[in-house]
Amino acid sequence: MPQNYVPIFLFVAVVAIAIPATLMIGKLVRPNNPEKAKLMPYECGIDPVDNARGRYTVRFYIVAILFVVFDVETIFLFPWAVQYRALGLFGLVEMLVFLAILIVGYVWIWKKGALEWV
Amino acid sequence: MSTLNAYILTIVTFIPLGGAVLLALFPRRDRDLRVFALVVSLLAFVLSLHLPVHFARHHAGFQFEQDIQWITTPNIHYHLAIDGISMWLVLLTTFLTPLCVLISWKSVHDRVKEFFILMLLLETALIGVFVSLDLFLFYFFWEASLIPMALLIGVYGHERRVYAAVKFFLFTMIASVFMLAAILWLYAHVGSFQFADTQQWLRGHGTEIQGAAPWLFLGFFVAFAVKVPLFPLHTWLPDAHVEAPTAGSVLLAGVLLKMGTYGLLRFNVGLFPDEARHNASWIATLAIIGIIYGALVAMVQPNLKKLVAYSSVSHLGFVVLGIFSMTQAGQVGAVFVMLAHGVSTGALFMLVGIIHERRHTFEIAEFGGLATPMPIYATFFLIITLSSIGLPLLNGFVGEFLVLSGAFLAHPLWGILAATGVIWSACYMLWMYQRVFFGKVNHDVNLALPDLSLRERIALWPLAVAAFAMGVAPLIWINAVDPTVRNVLSIAAQFASQVVAR
Amino acid sequence: MPTSFFTGTDYALSLPMILLSLFGLGVLIIDLMLPAEWKRWNAITALIGLGFSTAAVMRIQLGHFADGRPLVGSFAYLSNVGGQVVGSVLMDGFSIYFFYLFLLGAAIAILMSAHYLEIEHEHHGEFYALILFSVVGMMCMASGYDLVLLFIGLELMAISTYVLVGFLRRDKRSNEAALKYLLLGAFSSGIFAYGLSLLYGLSGSTNLQVIAQALQRHYSANPKDPIAIVAMITTATGLLFKVAAVPFHQWAPDAYEGAPTSVTGYMSVAVKSAAWAMLLRIFLWGLYPLRPVYLPLLVFVSVATMTVGNFAALSQNNLKRLLAYSSISHVGYMLLGLIASDNITNKTGIQGILVYLLVYTFMNLGAFAVVTSLRRRDIIGDEIDDIAGLYSKAPTEAVLMLLFLLSLAGIPPLAGFYGKYFIFLSLIQTQHYVLASLAVLYAVLGLYYYMRIGSAMFMRPATDPEPVAISPGMQVALAVTAIGTVGIGILPEFFIRAAGWSLGIQQAGTSLLGFLR
């Protein structure tokens, strides 16, 4: 059985080598200009340690939710892609139905103005 | 005629309902509404006269039967029929309703339409209770009678009407739930709601249900005893009566209370004769307490309507005593007292209502010497008072005499104690009459009181005539009741002999 | 691997849901193009959708279902176990009965809502779309024969309802209710899913039939196995939460009070019916082998539910809260039916539950319709004081409300009686005398708090002179519910037979009036 795990060990080894290597190379190539803001977790300006009652616009959430919705829905397409031949016409129709529903949702949020940043 | 015989009960029962529906569609012209309600209720009365005319008097069983399957699962029938007992109660209902319409001609001026709709609905429900021979149908009408009555009290009543209506509703509703439980138990075992089937089954399975029978008996008994009302359960009655509008009181005392005594006779004695015998002693004791207690409380009432209400408690005690004396005379007397009480107490409530319309009070102390300004009123009041006391040749006498003789047969002590009730009733009624009508007029307002109008006299005459007729020729009523009661008792006797033989 | 994933039968069986989804999406899109004063067309579109869906259900009932045998929709053979083909949709009388119930509840709720939402300034098309989507979820719950489909249906319904509860965006109570409902609902869904996963672990299948067979073997082999019991208890917890049975009822009063009134009505009938459909499916089909284990649990829950529901309702002054507690107590009565009958030796109790849910749809929606119509400009109208003197302002409405309340209390000439009647009868038939007497006593207690509303309407003076205006939609809703309440009371035969038919007690007919034969 262990021979079945060989690809995984290979994968682990590649990861273990590749990540430190790229970090190292980056360190050598990029200009070095340290600044305080660069050390913060989010560079977009949100202070990670703040008053718990502080407010920020709800649009962050809307955009985040919409992103998650549409991003995660595409995961649905993967299993279909894998079984494309076996599912045949049924799978195609089913996926079109799914996408149609998704498009209706997309049109709806667009018209509702959820995508506009004001 | 034979075709009419098959449908007459349905027609009589549902004519008021039809009238109520039509009334709901009427425009709100009060006079037309009143006339229409009167016509409908008179029509029901006239049609119900078909019953005594074509009733086979020496036939003990049920007549004018109509039996249609209503619901198949559960097995519920639309089964109507009457015997000698229920026929007169139906007639009493149809007789009193037009008079109630007349008596509320002027006294009801707000929401007239709804008032008469409720009254006609109530009439249908009341008749339905007396004619249904399917336990489910009976329960259906039994509960249906509650709602219009509670609304009549609660919407059209006097100051504390809400309290009285809610109390009335809760008391009777809570009690009748026990009856429902008993009915469902019976259905689960018998497989039918039919009265006859149930009776048959109970007779055939005496030993099997020995454990359950006392509970079933009690389930029915509680529901009926509250309605009667029997002594410790009577507290809703004075409140309901005092707060109810006149017509509501008349139907409440005249017919609604009889639903309870009718139920006791039909179901408790009819279905569980053995249990009825076993429990007769304590029930009769409660009835006697009710007779004496009701009379004593009536005596000290400063409120005219409350006095009449407590007199009802006392009179209904006679009915229960008669039923549970388990004698022929006692039970026939009980049925007769039901009818007589319906007429005389109905009339008393009308009379009290008439004076309330004029003076807006029920306090006896506010009156005195009314015979001077209102001689006709005083005369009517006297006749009804005497009939309520039980003066021979008036209707009260016959029933109470029969009940007392039945009670003596069953147990001499019961007879002796109950007989004092007659004396008490003479005391409180005559004393009340004296305080209200004799002596000088103490309050100047009373001097100017108008005497009875034509409409009021028309409403009272039939009752006075009935009081006389029932006193002079009681046989007209009794010879229809007699075979039925004998039948009920013979079933009870057979049952008892079976039990003894075992 | 089967050659066809989606057969003609599958299509026919899912047509009611497909149609509702299409109309739901349609409403969303059409709403974008409608000017503000035309929003009522959304309601009409949604009603048309419900009508089409009803026609599709009828087609199943009369066409595919004529011989009375249950149809199993395969839906791509989600569970293909050892050559035994088991579908994920079970289309039997039970499903069809509930389909009609959901469609009816949704239609009445929509009729109630149009005017109400205008007053609240929240008249958006999404409301109707969400109602349609939630009906799709309910249909999956009623006809699901597979844990996956049941769970998806549950979530689709629940998520739609969370949004509907919080539909009054500017109202703090509505927001609070939605958040509470969401958090507790998600929590219970989690527990429920955990129970389902254990069931899957025990049986290796998500199909109810296979699960039942596996549990039967498992239970007869080792009856005290804790895993089966834990699986049963967690599943039951999730289900009992959804029907708001004590001790999982805490969300109900808050959610009911805060939600828009028409949504409260909708939740209390359609959502509750769907939860009941799923509960019955799982308890009677899937978990049936564990009946000896869950019976004592149900007895406890049902007694507690009746007790808490009735006693808590006694002291409520808010109409919606009062009706919420009363609806909790009604769940207690219905659970008694499940205790009394197992759908095999005794069917009366289950038939009683079905009849109960049907009459409850009419009478409770009717009561909520009246409460909804009390909402006027500047008056929230959900306190008992707000309904005082209704008789003098709007006599017809007051009389109707009285009818609904009396029916809820179970007074005979009205529909509500038959629900209680069957439950009591089943208890007596199976000799649960103690439970029967308890239920009867609580029924009396219920009468008291219904009468409180009744006496306030009829016997107290009005607190404000503001007249009550009733929109045409509301008139239709009131008429339908009133006719249902009184009509079933007087001629219950058809509806009792329909419930019996749905359980296979009576034979099915080929015509629409097949119920009657």
In order, the DSSP letters of C357-368 are HHHHHHHHHHHH
B390: which residues sit within 8 A by CB, 6+ positions away? B396, B397, B400, B401, B422, B425, B426
CA distance B42 to A94: 73
Å between C162 CA and nearest CA of chain A: 17
The answer to whether residue A117 sits within a structural domain is no
Number of domains comprising chain A: 1
Are residues A104 and C32, on separate chains, in Cβ contact within 8 Å? Answer: no
Residues C58-67: what's their mean pLDDT? 72
> C296 — phi, psi (to 5°)?
-60, -35
Chains that touch C (3 or more CB pairs under 8 A): A, B
**Predicted local distance difference test score (pLDDT) of residue C78:** 42
The residue of chain C with its CA nearest to that of A113 is C32
Chain-centre distance for alpha carbon C61: 21
pLDDT category at A22 given cuts 50, 70, 90 is very high
CB C156 within 8 A of CB C129: no
Best of C3, C30, C32, C156 to mutate (most A CBs within 10 Å, chain A)? C32
Tokens matching residue A10: 């290979």
- Identity of the residue in C395, C428, C459 whose CB atom sits nearest the CB atom of B154: C459
Q: Is C314 on the interface with B (CB under 8 A)?
A: no
pLDDT of B443 > 90? The answer is no
pLDDT of B500 > 80? The answer is no
**Predicted local distance difference test score (pLDDT) of residue B1:** 52
In chain A, count H helices and then E strands.
Answer: 4, 0
Are residues A90 and C6, on separate chains, in Cβ contact within 8 Å? Answer: yes
CB B188 within 8 A of CB C349: no
- Which sign does the torsion angle of CA B446, B451, B452, B453 carry? negative
Residues C344-348: what's their mean pLDDT? 81
pLDDT of B130 > 80? The answer is yes
A66: which residues sit within 8 A by CB, 6+ positions away? A109, A114, A115
The whole-chain average pLDDT of chain B stands at: 85
DSSP string covering B192-256: --BHHHHHHHHHHTTTTTTTTHHHHHHHHHHHHHHHTT-GGG-THHHHHHHHS-HHHHHHIIIII
Q: Is C1 on the interface with A (CB under 8 A)?
A: yes
CB C260 within 8 A of CB C174: yes
pLDDT category at C3 given cuts 50, 70, 90 is very low
**Predicted local distance difference test score (pLDDT) of residue C204:** 84
CA distance C456 to B155: 11
CA distance C149 to B433: 81
Tens of pLDDT, residue by residue over B103-125, are 888 877 778 888 888 899 999 99
- Per the model's pLDDT, the better-predicted residue between C394 and B319 turns out to be B319
pLDDT of C117 > 90? The answer is no
Element housing C91 (H / E): strand C89-91
Residues C299-318: what's their mean pLDDT? 90
| Cis omega (within 30 of 0) for bond into C70 | no
Residues of C in contact with A94 (CB under 8 A): 6
pLDDT of B502 > 60? The answer is no
pLDDT of C33 > 90? The answer is no
Q: Is C459 on the interface with A (CB under 8 A)?
A: no
CB C399 within 8 A of CB B117: no
Pairs of residues, one from chain B and one from chain C, whose beta carbons lie less than 8 Å apart: 78
| Cis omega (within 30 of 0) for bond into C247 | yes
**Predicted local distance difference test score (pLDDT) of residue B498:** 52
Best of C4, C18, C28 to mutate (most A CBs within 10 Å, chain A)? C28
**Predicted local distance difference test score (pLDDT) of residue C516:** 37
Best of C402, C450, C455 to mutate (most B CBs within 10 Å, chain B)? C455
pLDDT of C440 > 70? The answer is yes
Chain-centre distance for alpha carbon C85: 31
Residues of B in contact with C406 (CB under 8 A): 147
CB B424 within 8 A of CB B314: yes
| pLDDT over 70, % of chain B | 97
Are residues A104 and C4, on separate chains, in Cβ contact within 8 Å? Answer: no
Positions of E strands within C6-52: none
**Predicted local distance difference test score (pLDDT) of residue C517:** 33
3-state secondary structure B30-70: HHHHHHHHHHHHHHHHHHHCHHHHHCCCCCCCCEEEEEEEE
Q: State yes or no: chains A and B have 3 or more CB pairs below 8 A.
A: no
pLDDT of C508 > 60? The answer is no
Residues C201-208: what's their mean pLDDT? 84
**Predicted local distance difference test score (pLDDT) of residue C2:** 47
- Identity of the residue in C455, C497, C505 whose CB atom sits nearest the CB atom of B162: C455
Number of domains comprising chain B: 1
Question: Is C346 in a helix, a strand, or coil?
Answer: coil
Are residues C458 and B151, on separate chains, in Cβ contact within 8 Å? Answer: yes
Q: Which residues of B touch chain C, with CB atoms under 8 Å apart? A: 70-74, 111, 114, 139-140, 142-144, 146-147, 151, 154-155, 161-162, 165-166, 169-170, 173-174, 177-178, 180-181, 184-185, 187-188
| Cis omega (within 30 of 0) for bond into C465 | no
Question: Is C89 in a helix, a strand, or coil?
Answer: strand
Question: Taking the C-alpha atoms of B106, B111, B112 and B115 in order, what is their torsion angle to the nearest 10 degrees?
Answer: -110
- Identity of the residue in C413, C455, C506 whose CB atom sits nearest the CB atom of B140: C413
| pLDDT over 90, % of chain B | 6
When mean pLDDT is compared across B396-405, C37-46, C92-101, C450-459, the lowest value belongs to C450-459
Tens of pLDDT, residue by residue over C368-378, are 988 888 877 66
The whole-chain average pLDDT of chain C stands at: 84
Highest mean predicted confidence (pLDDT) among A12-16, A36-40, B227-231:
A12-16
**Predicted local distance difference test score (pLDDT) of residue C216:** 86
Residues of C in contact with B142 (CB under 8 A): 412
Residues C252-266: what's their mean pLDDT? 89
Residues B220-230: what's their mean pLDDT? 89
**Predicted local distance difference test score (pLDDT) of residue A46:** 67
**Predicted local distance difference test score (pLDDT) of residue C19:** 93
- The Cα-based distances of C278 to C138, C240, C242, C255, C282 in angstroms read 9, 10, 10, 21, 6
pLDDT of C273 > 90? The answer is yes
pLDDT of C466 > 80? The answer is no
**Predicted local distance difference test score (pLDDT) of residue B492:** 64
* Residue numbers of the domain that contains B45: 2-501
Burial, B181: exposed, middle or buried (Cβ in 10 Å; 0-12, 13-18, 19+)? buried
pLDDT of B465 > 70? The answer is yes
**Predicted local distance difference test score (pLDDT) of residue C109:** 92
CB B333 within 8 A of CB B313: no
DSSP string covering C436-489: HHHHHHHHHHHHHHHHHHHHHHHHS--S--PPPP--HHHHHHHHHHHHHHHHHH
Å between B73 CA and nearest CA of chain C: 8
pLDDT of B73 > 80? The answer is no
| pLDDT over 70, % of chain C | 91
**Complex ipTM:** 0.76
Tokens matching residue C367: 């009561």
pLDDT of C49 > 80? The answer is yes
When mean pLDDT is compared across B158-167, B187-196, B318-327, C72-81, the lowest value belongs to C72-81
Return the residue matching tokens 């004075």. B238
Best of A90, A93, A99, A109 to mutate (most C CBs within 10 Å, chain C)? A90
* Residue numbers of the domain that contains A106: 2-112
pLDDT of C510 > 50? The answer is no
**Predicted local distance difference test score (pLDDT) of residue C493:** 80
- Identity of the residue in B72, B162, B177 whose CB atom sits nearest the CB atom of C493: B72
Q: Tell me the residue type at C21.
A: S
Residues B277-285: what's their mean pLDDT? 88
Tens of pLDDT, residue by residue over B351-390, are 888 888 888 888 888 888 888 888 888 888 899 999 888 8
Tens of pLDDT, residue by residue over B397-439, are 888 888 888 888 888 888 888 888 888 888 888 888 888 888 8
Tokens matching residue B11: 């027609």
